[in-house]
Structure formats: structure tokens, C-alpha cells
Amino acid sequence: MERYFSISEMASIHGVSRQTLIYYDKIELFQPVHIDENGYRFYAAEQIPFLREICFLKSIGIKLNDIKEHIGNRNLTSAISLLEYHHDLLQREIDSLQKAKMFIQQRLGKYSEASRFKSDLDQPVIEQFPERKVVFVPFENEICRKELHVTLMKAWHILSQQEMLPSDGFGTLILKDQLGTNQVFKGAGIFTALPLDDTVTEQLRILPAGQYACMYKYGMPYETQCLKELVQWIEEQGYRITGDVIDACLLDTTFYETEQNVDFCQLQIPVEKMV
């Protein structure tokens, strides 16, 4: 048997384990040229290039079934085809991972914002916001905790249909024309920010860039005391409301104990100074 390599020698040459070669033999991917009466496996030197190629293809992520199908009918055309197919597959995976990374960064940004400003409760300020694109889904029933959750899931489903995640924030949108009426939540609904600017959807709503009167609060959107206080502050400061009210959720109820089962939010109301 001097002209053969033992299974341990062949494994050592290629930096794989004996168990790997035993498995390759079992699935008929790479088999020894000789098995002696004691069951010991032996390989020929001519087999080294084939195992070397199998190791390379496996190392770049090609599945063993695909390698097996390819290695038995290997030629230049099939080799190019296999690599091109796997290259395209990897590119799709990279694109998917890049998108997932972006979703994580957006969610981290929201959590970082909440951690910075939680101490500024009930203190109205003027902030500048860029234009924001959101999916808007109106409430179908009277606003309550159940209606909030169900409507939010409808908005999230719209994103998922376009292979997006709700990573860039959500909240309640209250129509400007309903402020000061006894039906404040008429026409209101849930919005969730579009993580990708080029998204096209029938439910698209633009939140305009500009100055916003803002106030951080603990509470649910249907609790209007903070909203009334902010509207009053806007009037006292000589501003006027120019658009719909945004009740942006920064931390939802999954972050709190049962007895504090409310969201941490920021009210955002677009305003301009009255002349």
C-alpha cells in the first residue's frame, strides 16, 4: 500500500478531519480507491486535485449536493456556471445583510434618542426635522390599546410585503383639523416610517420638513392631557400649528413593568411663528 495515502494522511494534506472524509465517502462525494480487508480506506495521489477542489468549493459556501453534482461531470463550462450561480447567490445574501444592518442602525438610533432625552419630560421645545416618508393606516374603530396594536400590525404588514422592517420608528398621526373638537381622533391613524426613501406605496404620507413644537411624555396616544398642554404652549409662544400632530413612539410598553404599561413618546407638532 506504499503508493496510497491513508485516510489520516489524506485528511492531513487537505486540513480536514478523518470524519469529514468518512462522511464524503458515505454520501459518495469523494471515495477511496481501495478499502482493505480490515476496512481501512486508502486514496491515490491522482485524487488530491479533486479533494482540493471540493475543499475550495465548500470553503466558499457551495452546498455539498451541488459540489457532488458538479464534480462528477466537471468541465470548464460547468465550473464557470457553478461559480457564476454562487456569485449571484452571495450577492443577494450580501444585499440582504446590508439591508438588515441598516435596519439595526435605524433601530439603534431610535433607542439612543430615547436614552438621551428621557429626562426632558413635559418640557416643550422647538426642534427642526427633515422631511419624513411614512406609511399611514387610519384607525377603523375607536382608538384604544387594542386598536393601536392591530392597526400598527397592518402598517408593518405593508412594509413586510416590500421586504422591509419597521426599524425607523412609528406612532400615531392626529389630524390638525380635529384639534380643539370633541372628535380629536377622527381620521387619525398609525404611521410607521419608511426605512427606504425610494419606496412606493399607496399608503405613503409625507411628514414635512420644518420647525416642530415637541414634548417628551409617558402615556398612550389616546391620553390627550399632554397634547392639550403642548397646544396651549404653542399659542402662548406666538406660534401657529401648520400640520398634523405626530405622537412618535420611542420606547413601547415592552420596556416597562406592568404597573407602568405605557409608551415613552415625543409629541411633534409642525409650527411657524406668527407675524
* Number of residues written out for the chain: 275
Residue 172, Cα to own-chain centre: how many angstroms? Answer: 21
pLDDT at 199 over 80: no
Q: What is the pLDDT of residue 77?
A: 93
How far apart CA 86 and CA 181 sit, in angstroms, is 61
Strand partners, 190: 137, 172
Q: Which of 157, 158, 160, 167 is nearest to 195 (CA)?
A: 167
Q: pLDDT, tens digit, for every residue of 232-251?
A: 999 999 999 999 999 999 88
**What DSSP element (H or E) covers 48?**
helix 48-59
How far apart CA 200 and CA 70 sit, in angstroms, is 42
Mean pLDDT of 33-47: 92
How far apart CA 249 and CA 19 sit, in angstroms, is 53
Q: pLDDT, tens digit, for every residue of 58-90?
A: 999 999 999 999 998 889 999 999 999 999 999
Q: What is the pLDDT of residue 91?
A: 95
Average pLDDT value over all residues in the chain:
90
pLDDT at 187 over 70: yes
119 vs 27, more confident: 27
pLDDT at 119 over 70: no
Q: What is the pLDDT of residue 140?
A: 95
Q: What is the pLDDT of residue 148?
A: 93
Mean pLDDT of 10-22: 95
How far apart CA 207 and CA 130 sit, in angstroms, is 8
How far apart CA 52 and CA 10 sit, in angstroms, is 10
Cell readout for 88 is 449571484
Residue 103 carries which side chain, given as an amino acid letter? F
Q: Name the band, by pLDDT with cuts 50, 70 and 90, for residue 212.
A: very high
Place of cell 417628551: 216
Q: What is the pLDDT of residue 2?
A: 61
* Cα torsion through 120, 122, 126, 127, rounded to 10: 50
> Nearest 5°: phi and psi at 262?
-135, 165
Q: pLDDT, tens digit, for every residue of 152-179?
A: 999 989 988 888 888 888 999 999 999 9
Domains of the chain in sequence order? 5-74 (1.10.1660.10), 120-273 (3.20.80.10)
